[in-house]
Amino acid sequence: MAIEIEPGVLRLTEDIVSETERSFFYLLQGSDADCLIDGGWGFCTDLGAIRRDAEKPLVAIATHSHFDHIGLLHLAKRCYAHHAEAAIFADPDPVSTQALPYLADRPVLAGNGIIEPISIRQQPCPVDIFLDDGDIVDLGGRRLVAIHTPGHSPGSLSLLDSDSGLLFCADTVHDGHIWDDIPGADGQALLMSHERLAEVDFARACPGHGAILPRAAFLDRIERYRRRVGA
């Protein structure tokens, strides 16, 4: 499923996954290249039906290396990510991507279907270019600024498209449960990343799960998380 949320910005998800477990990823169109921000579970196999110009180069930015966000990254000509999770992108086995133990006996497919966790082994998507805080990816007429926002994972990235007022914040902030107790997570780092993002000038946040959040709702979600963890 693809929905245009701004001119040249598509929000994508895979309908085979249940609504409560779906991840969202994004296709951004530039004049020189299109950019995939994350890549879902990988049930979808290509983007040909939704790209306006399939001959234009496709690059990808991985916000982090969890199984439900990297499925289509291998389609890109060039992959950007943070160096902290580079080894996982190169060899995305079910444990390192956290398909295990999360998926064990868990109904995640539409109709409450269960998937065998060992089958969730996405194709390698080695990082070609490492992004760190303040780095820019220029797509031609659209520039994305990388913000290192560790906490959910060591190499979590958020991306700001200031021209459209969109902040792509993956799993760092969303309106569901924010996982801060899984391997690689760091609650204190997550709080600091929330503080950092609260200072960023944007209109809407586009997370990896749940609804798109206007700025006020985004800030409210951060405050509710702080209260939950007693910060």
pLDDT digits (tens, 9 = 90+) for 150-198: 999 999 999 999 999 999 999 999 999 999 999 999 999 999 999 999 9
State which residues form the domain around 77. 2-229
User: Phi and psi for 54 in degrees, rounded to 5?
Assistant: -70, -15
Side by side, the strands of the sheet bearing 213-214 are: 136-138, 143-148, 157-161, 166-170, 204-207, 213-214
Q: Is 15 helix (H, G, I), strand (E, B) or coil?
A: coil
Decide if pLDDT at 231 tops 80. Answer: no
Tens digit of each residue's pLDDT (9 = 90 or more) over 26-70: 999 999 999 999 999 998 888 878 888 888 999 999 999 999 999
What pLDDT sits at residue 199? 97
pTM metric for this prediction: 0.95
Strand locations in the chain (E): 2-6, 9-12, 25-29, 34-37, 58-61, 78-81, 107-109, 113-114, 129-130, 136-138, 143-148, 157-161, 166-170, 204-207, 213-214
List, for residues 83-129, the tens digit of each pLDDT value: 999 999 999 999 999 999 999 999 999 998 888 877 777 899 999 99
Torsion on CA atoms 209, 63, 1, 6, rounded to nearest 10:
90
> What is the four-CA torsion angle of 15, 16, 19, 21, rounded to 10 degrees?
-130
**Domains in the chain: how many in total?**
1
b/e per residue 78-101 (b: at least 16 CB within 10 A): ebbbbebbeebbeebebebbbbee
Is 158 in contact with 197 (CB distance < 8 Å)?
A: yes
CATH of the domain at 68: 3.60.15.10
Within the chain, residue ranges assigned H as helices are: 86-90, 99-102, 187-198, 215-229
